[in-house]
């Protein structure tokens, strides 16, 4: 019965979307704002630590709390 009425969820506020670039060599993760054309497993920029080619490992939205 409950499966017929799953949680629809709360109305979400507009949240900023981030792209995570991960370096396959050293594992460094870089977070930046999402750009149109980004997709998961697309080649990213250069790793800031080891200068290897990064890959986009995640794209997600997150509620950012304003800094007090």
Partner 1 sequence: MSLLGSNSSLLSTLVYVILFVGSTFLFLFWGPRMQVFTVLREVKTNVEKLNVLRDKSKKEALDYLVVNCKAPKEIQQRLDQTLEYFTIMPVDMDPNGIVGKIEHVVRLQDDRMRDEIKRMAPQADPVQVSVAQNILEVATSLNQIFKIVRHFYIQGQKTKSYYILIQLQMIMPMIIQEADALVSAIDAFKDAEPIGDGLGPMVAGKFMYGKEKITIERETVWSKAEFKGRNLIVLKAEGPMGTVGRPHIGVEKLLSDPNQKVDALIMVDAALKLEGENTGEIAEGIGAAIGGIGVEKFRIEKAAVGRDIPMYAVVVKQSLIDAISVMKKEIAEASDKVVAVVQRIIEEKTNEGDTILIIGVGNTLGVAQ
Number of residues located near partner 1, criterion CB under 8 A: 27
**CA 64 to CA 68: how far, in whole Å?**
12
Q: Does 8 bind partner 1 (CB under 8 A)?
A: yes
Q: Does 64 bind partner 1 (CB under 8 A)?
A: no
**CA 35 to CA 17: how far, in whole Å?**
9
Token couple for 22: 């991960």
- Residue 51 CB, shortest distance to partner 1, in Å, is 20
* Binding positions for partner 1, rule: CB under 8 A: 2-3, 5-12, 14-15, 17, 20, 34, 36, 38-42, 55, 58-62
């Amino acid at each position: 019965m409950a499966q017929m009425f799953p949680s629809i969820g709360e109305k979400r506020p507009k949240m900023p979307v981030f792209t995570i670039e991960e370096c396959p060599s050293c594992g460094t993760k870089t977070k930046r704002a999402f750009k149109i054309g980004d997709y998961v497993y697309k080649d990213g920029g250069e790793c800031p630590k080891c200068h290897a080619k990064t890959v986009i490992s995640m794209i997600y939205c997150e509620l950012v709390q304003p800094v007090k």
